[in-house]
Amino acid sequence: MYGNGSRKDLVLLSKSIDASYIDNQQSFAYHLRYENQSLIHFERQLTCTSVLGIYMKTFVFYLKRLARANKVVYHGRANQPKVALTFDDGPNPTYTPQILELLKQYNVQATFFAIGEHVQAYPQLVRQEYQEGHAVGNHTWTHPHLPEESRDRIQNELSRTSNVIEQATGTKPVLFRPPYGKVNWNVLKQSSQQGMTTILWSVDTLDWDQPSRTMDDIVNRALSEVGNGSILLLHDGGGNRSPTVAALPTIIINLQQRGYQFVTVQQMINHLKHIPR
């Protein structure tokens, strides 16, 4: 599928792969961003034989190798009834406290991928997340499309955020989630060099798609797609998160009734490492 804009006479600014696609699908999403900001998005089968196809297959091979080494993680073990709730784009003074309250009420541990400039504004919320037993990960300083940025900017987006999280919690984050699930070689390298595991997801609840998605949509999506080892993508910041907050009790109660145990992404990774798959 091709987006708007002509490819002629335009300077290509960046190419990026949507890493959130790789694990479950035999296709990839590829993005070409041009000087006039037009974005061409297309999806291809991994079997294509063009030069681009070969490049992509090499990159996907590399990603899958990192996934086997647990350096890029999409999900936990498929034979254990453990799931991880993840909340991106906070901390947010309206929604994060409501989500923390619900997690406490249902005795659930989760993972928050915080944006650096929000941590700077609300460090006490991130401290509370950490003190209440949740994992806090790095989600960059300003939430850019990282593959479009220079190596220095990528390095800075990650290191600045890790530093402010460390100031707030006393602990340097070891988990990194790329905005939009978009990565390239530089992003993966920086994440690794700064001591972090790159975390994607296996269930996208689509709660970010506002105002289109209702509470029921989010519940249905989460409960129909979940399975052993699922990492669920949710949001506590970046827009109206009332539907996410409203959906959370139903998701938690249903999954607990089905016998799932809620773990942090860190606990999921420790489990991956200690028991061979």
Among 19, 67, 84, 89, binds Zn ion (CB under 5 A): 89
Residue 143 falls in the annotated catalytic set: no
Using the structure block, give the residue that is written with the tokens 């509470």: 215
Q: How many residues bind Zn ion (CB under 5 A)?
A: 3
Using the structure block, give the residue that is written with the tokens 């990159």: 59
DSSP code string of 185-208 = HHHHHHHHHTT-EEE--SEE--TT
Tell whether residue 88 is a contact of Zn ion (CB under 5 A). Answer: yes
CB of 139 to Zn ion, least distance (A): 6
Tell whether residue 207 is a contact of Zn ion (CB under 5 A). Answer: no
Residues 6+ apart with CB under 8 A from 141: 115, 116, 117, 156, 157, 160, 161
CB of 237 to Zn ion, least distance (A): 8
- Interaction pattern, residues 108-147, with Zn ion; x per rule: CB under 5 A: ----------------------------------------
- Pick the closer one to Zn ion by CB: 113 or 130: 113
What residues pair up with 39 in beta bridges, in sequence order? 33
- Per DSSP (E only), the strands in 155-268 are 175-176, 182-183, 197-199, 203-204, 231-235, 261-262
Q: How do 111-114 and 175-176 pair as beta strands?
A: unpaired
SS3 232: strand
Cα–Cα distances in angstroms (integers) from residue 276 to residues 48, 68, 71, 272, in the given order: 33, 11, 15, 7
- Interaction pattern, residues 155-184, with Zn ion; x per rule: CB under 5 A: ------------------------x-----
CB of 164 to Zn ion, least distance (A): 16
Cβ atoms of 132 and 104 closer than 8 Å: yes
- Pick the closer one to Zn ion by CB: 103 or 200: 200
Residue 207 falls in the annotated catalytic set: no
CB of 175 to Zn ion, least distance (A): 14
CB of 254 to Zn ion, least distance (A): 25
Cβ neighbours around 57 below 10 Å, total? 15
Binding span for Zn ion by CB under 5 A among 83-91, 99-107, 167-175, 250-258 = 83-91
Catalytic residue among 18, 31, 75, 88: 88
Could you tell me how many residues make up the chain? 277
- Interaction pattern, residues 41-80, with Zn ion; x per rule: CB under 5 A: ----------------------------------------
Tell me which residues are annotated as active site. 88, 235
Enumerate binding residues for Zn ion (CB under 5 A).
88-89, 179
